Amino acid sequence: MFDRRHDTRVRQATFEWLQSVVAIHGDVLPREVLAGGFTFEGSRVPLLGPQGIFKPAVMEVPLSITTAPKGPYGDGFGPDGLLRYKYRGEDLHHRDNRGLRFAMEQQLPLVYFHGLVPGRYLATWPVFLVQDRPELLEFSVAVDDAVYTGLTAESTWKGGETTEIRRGYVTTVARRRIHQQAFRERVLRAYRHQCALCRLRHDQLLDAAHIVPDADPEGEPTVSNGLALCHLHHRAFDRFFLGVRPDYIIEVRPDILAESDGPTLRYAIQGIHGQAIGLPQRKENHPSVLLLESRYERFLEVATAP
């Protein structure tokens, strides 16, 4: 018989542990940390395993679902904005599929791990299975606000239109966050986790900068539209203090070059004028020359403005 009280305690402990781990590692978590998990009443609780649908030994129902980078299943977001999560295999009655179906019927909150690059996962919780689609061998999954786990009296799931609207909004925000983090991880990985301009190597101080903004029709979240930049150079690039020519040479705005200021301006900005940026090892990840040309034209407009 399903022990809901025990299940609730493990899920609540999982969410609290994830919150503490994110505070240490940031939003994107290493696989080894998640696979190691935590200890609950003397038993180890890993959060994911070799299979996408995962149930630790201390539970009767799955705790998490995982999308692997370039995995075998066609998981993604449907036209209604909800996540589509594929069954394990094609057997509707496989124990993993039955476990998720039970979680849906009981409205049990799960954790969703989205693989961004090999070994790196964005954790999203709580997520709820909201529809079983056996004809497509998939479930529809909605993200909810962390307050509404359904595990305590204060967060009891009530269903209805309000819940559906809230989950739709939260899922949209989560989808955007997944795409942003995936772009960042791919760009930093391509640039070997260092700033393309100054070679700083601390991930906490690095961003994935768009060459052409993502709001622009050409601003696709591809590595060739990205540069790994430290916070300072990202801001300077966005504000046209400096630009990158299509031949990958850094150019500092003339009025900035003429300024007299402290060592940060002198060494971190003026000092890199005329230098070549660091490039990814793989040529297909190099910044797009066409996008750099478009960006450089805008830089020249700003640089020559009265």
Q: Mean pLDDT throughout 173-199?
A: 95
Give the pLDDT confidence of 189-208 residue by residue, as tens digits. 999 999 999 999 999 999 99
99 near 55, Cβ under 8 Å?
yes
Nearest by Cα to 140 from 72, 71, 75, 88 = 75
Is the model's pLDDT at 151 over the cut of 70?
A: yes
| 11 confidence band (pLDDT: 50, 70, 90) | very high
The number of angstroms, rounded, from the C-alpha of 289 to the middle of its chain's C-alpha atoms is 27
pLDDT computed for residue 218 by the predictor: 59
In words, the CATH class of domain 4-188 is: mainly beta
pLDDT-based confidence at residue 155 (cuts at 50, 70, 90): very low
- The amino acid that residue 31 corresponds to is R
Q: Name the CA dihedral angle for 79, 80, 85, 89, rounded to a multiple of 10 degrees.
A: -60
Residue 271 Rama label (left phi>0; alpha psi -120 to 50; beta): alpha
The length of the chain in residues reads 306
If DSSP codes are grouped into helix, strand and coil, which group holds residue 275? coil
Averaged pLDDT, 163-175: 91
**Domain ranges (residues) in the chain:** 4-188, 194-303
Which residue in the block uniquely carries the two structure tokens 């996540």? Answer: 83
